[in-house]
Amino acid sequence: MAGAYSADLRERALLACARGKLSRAKIAALFRIGESTLYRWLETWRREGRRAAKPHAGGTEPRLDATALDALAAIVAEANDLTLAEYAAKLQERAGVTASGPTVSRALKKLGLVRKKDPPGAGAGPARHCRRPGGLADRAGRHRPAAADLPR
């Protein structure tokens, strides 16, 4: 979806329509907006007397309020190695709020908390020998030894 048109563009297009020198189709083409957009703006101007766009309505309320976020922060302080599902279950027990794993993940990000189960390099077993990546691009500059009896 494209972004919203600027208030200045909307104002100039509506004033051009009010002057009445050009057709609405030509005004829409001139300002590079859709004709239906211009018709909607004109209808809103006539009906409500408003040239500006409506302010943002807000959206849905977050599922985790301040008390639930505080409870989540306390849970993470106690045990930082839980899975998102385990955090959600503990949050249900303490705060009585049902939340999914992705909701818990967004809340942890909002709180600035990092979820790391193990420090890097602390996996099980010894480190393996890492092979260098080798492919056609890697071998392009290398010369193979030529056979003794073949001309180069």
Domain boundaries, the chain: 7-48, 66-111
pLDDT of residue 19: 93
pTM summary value = 0.46
State the SS3 of 67-135.
Answer: HHHHHHHHHHHHCCCCCHHHHHHHHHHHHCCCCCHHHHHHHHHHHCCCCCCCCCCCCCCCCCCCCCCCC
pLDDT of residue 31: 95
Q: Which residues of the chain have pLDDT under 70?
A: 1-2, 115-152
pLDDT of residue 1: 46
State how far the Cα of 4 lies from the Cα of 67, in Å rounded to an integer.
Answer: 35
pLDDT of residue 115: 67
pLDDT of residue 143: 61
Q: For 81, what's the count of Cα atoms within 13 Å in the CB-facing half-sphere?
A: 3
pLDDT of residue 90: 93
